[in-house]
Copies of this chain bind each other. A is one copy, B any other.
């Protein structure tokens, strides 16, 4: 047991460029469409919301996109993140498998989200923007953008779903500690918010409404832009620092993954770890099985339709082709708030269609059981989202045991659970329920998908 368990890179090894999988795709990504015309949108359509640098990153097919030096400088605060060999977990499982995990919880905000919050803030600052508006559900994304705002001197305006705002005061306090303004949504600060409140003054809010409010604020104020924490190509691009580092660390370990596992909500932490390895394979390098683990209560990859759909419930966004449960679908209120999204990142969806990745869905209780097993053997208590990846990785390791073969498994432990302790309290009190979505609601939401000829 005196072998290395932690693979660390010097900060000089922080990648100098993000990896863009669009350069290596066997078929290009379907275009993003304008909902009015049904025609592909251009950069100008997005200019009111995003700085041009990010719009360019959204569509570029260059393999490498240089990471600006000021971004790398801030990445140094916590990057390169450690890669662990989970020897105690392997022993507890009595498996011949080798299990590695990349740990993104060491960032100041506690997850992988700052990997994209920092460059998004940087490019906005460069473009002369003074303020960024965004939405947040559980608060992982909002607190990461708040951190980025503090570093770059940008005002951050977060619309937080009202029910979460009231139930999760700790994440909100973290955002405020970083100097961000956190407003419960629906609010009376926007037209969209006021319209909802006029009908129901006690509306609990939804991610869809919060997006509408954040987009409205950005669209109406020239000094304000909008930022999204997942789904979009440039967000997934920024997350590839995770996988690029992991490749170097697996090399340090003298190993290479046979299977890579990540949890998927919007798809960004999954893409961040897996895309560099998939790129290697697409360019003729080593093959790797890639498994996306999603919540059974919101199973876009395993039960959704690959179709054009809106990114939000209020239909303010362009149409993107993705695995979707329909923008009218409302997932049950399970604890992994970061995985409660009706759609999947277009790039992840595209790879699924091309047969390059697999997907599996788990209910939450078995994921919490896996998280507790990891905590007791490795010490790290993971976020409910990350528990899905842990479940997937443990099941792969148990499969190895059953088959009597050793495989190398790598998974992404994308964040810690320090702000999610109520979920663990409920789990130990046996109050967690494995919620099922309403089949009829799903059928209706899918039937209501916009019809697009493209």
Please list the residues of chain A having a beta carbon within 8 angstroms of any beta carbon in chain B. Answer: 1-2, 4-6, 8, 10-11, 69-70, 73, 76-78, 84, 88, 106-110, 147, 150-151, 169-170, 173-174, 176-179, 372, 375-381, 416, 418-419, 421-422, 424-425, 428
Q: Provide 21 A-B residue pairs closer than 8 Å at the C-beta atoms, listed in order of the A residue.
A: A1-B70, A5-B73, A5-B76, A6-B11, A6-B76, A8-B10, A8-B11, A77-B84, A78-B379, A108-B378, A173-B425, A174-B381, A174-B424, A176-B424, A177-B372, A177-B381, A177-B424, A178-B375, A416-B418, A418-B418, A418-B419
Q: CA A179 – CA B375 in complex, angstroms?
A: 9
Residues of B within 8 A of A179 (CB): 376
Known A-B contacts A5-B77, A11-B4, A174-B421; A379 and B110 likewise in contact (beta carbons under 8 Å): no
**Chain B's nearest CB lies how many Å from the CB of A293?**
21
Residues of B within 8 A of A151 (CB): 88, 379
Q: CA A315 – CA B110 in complex, angstroms?
A: 42
* Oligomer: number of copies: 2
Residues of B within 8 A of A88 (CB): 151
Residues of B within 8 A of A418 (CB): 110, 170, 416, 418-419
**Chain B's nearest CB lies how many Å from the CB of A447?**
42
Residues of B within 8 A of A84 (CB): 77
> Does B421 lie within 8 Å of A169, measured CB to CB?
yes
**Chain B's nearest CB lies how many Å from the CB of A421?**
4
Q: CA A84 – CA B150 in complex, angstroms?
A: 18
> Does A108 lie within 8 Å of B11, measured CB to CB?
no
Residue in B closest to A12 when the chains form the complex, CB atoms: B4
Given contacts A150-B375, A174-B381, 5 further A-B contacts (CB under 8 A): A8-B11, A150-B376, A150-B379, A173-B425, A177-B372
> Does B419 lie within 8 Å of A378, measured CB to CB?
no
> Does A8 lie within 8 Å of B6, measured CB to CB?
no
Residues of B within 8 A of A70 (CB): 1
Residue in B closest to A368 when the chains form the complex, CB atoms: B177
> Does A69 lie within 8 Å of B11, measured CB to CB?
no
Residues of B within 8 A of A377 (CB): 150
**Chain B's nearest CB lies how many Å from the CB of A50?**
24
Residues of B within 8 A of A8 (CB): 8, 10-11
Q: Which of A6, A69, A177, A422 has the most CB of B within 10 A?
A: A177
Q: CA A70 – CA B375 in complex, angstroms?
A: 19
Residue in B closest to A379 when the chains form the complex, CB atoms: B108
Known A-B contacts A88-B151, A150-B377, A419-B418; A2 and B73 likewise in contact (beta carbons under 8 Å): yes
Q: CA A77 – CA B7 in complex, angstroms?
A: 10
Residue in B closest to A7 when the chains form the complex, CB atoms: B11
**Chain B's nearest CB lies how many Å from the CB of A292?**
26
> Does A428 lie within 8 Å of B77, measured CB to CB?
no
> Does B170 lie within 8 Å of A421, measured CB to CB?
yes
Q: CA A175 – CA B1 in complex, angstroms?
A: 26
> Does A169 lie within 8 Å of B425, measured CB to CB?
yes
Q: CA A335 – CA B78 in complex, angstroms?
A: 28
Residue in B closest to A8 when the chains form the complex, CB atoms: B8
> Does B176 lie within 8 Å of A380, measured CB to CB?
no
**Chain B's nearest CB lies how many Å from the CB of A324?**
34
Q: CA A6 – CA B177 in complex, angstroms?
A: 23
Residues of B within 8 A of A422 (CB): 169-170, 173
